[in-house]
């Protein structure tokens, strides 16, 4: 999460964008119970364990949607999980 804040552009006011030397395409989705649950519900993640291989799998799926900035969906996935909209975690 820290890398996401420091690397991604700050034009929206959420991220700082202080490390422009790192390509946002190289970032991985911060995986927690919320982002994992929603990712599974959306079919972005098949793996049942929340481990590094799951991070790689879901990030690869998100790269299909946006190869330049795959973690841009982090907040949306997290929010849907916290609100219980798509996550089996309640």
Least confident of 6-15, 19-28, 59-68: 6-15
* Look-up of token digits 């790269």: 63
Burial category of 90 from C-beta neighbours within 10 Å (exposed 0-12, middle 13-18, buried 19 and up): exposed
9-29: average pLDDT: 81
12-24: average pLDDT: 79
Q: Residue 84 above 60 pLDDT?
A: yes
Per-residue pLDDT of 37-56, as tens digits, reads: 999 999 999 999 999 999 99
Name the H helices within 1-90.
Answer: 2-7, 33-41, 52-65, 74-82
Q: How many CA atoms lie within 13 A of 64 on its CB side?
A: 8
Q: Residue 90 above 60 pLDDT?
A: no
């Amino acid at each position: 999460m820290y890398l996401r804040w420091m690397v991604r552009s700050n034009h929206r006011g959420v991220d700082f964008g202080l490390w422009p030397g790192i390509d946002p395409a190289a970032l991985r989705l911060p995986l927690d119970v919320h982002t994992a649950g929603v990712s599974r519900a959306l079919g972005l993640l098949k793996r049942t364990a929340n481990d590094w291989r799951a991070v790689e799998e879901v990030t690869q799926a998100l790269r299909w949607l946006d190869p330049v900035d795959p973690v841009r969906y982090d907040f949306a996935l997290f929010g849907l999980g916290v609100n219980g909209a798509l996550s089996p975690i309640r």
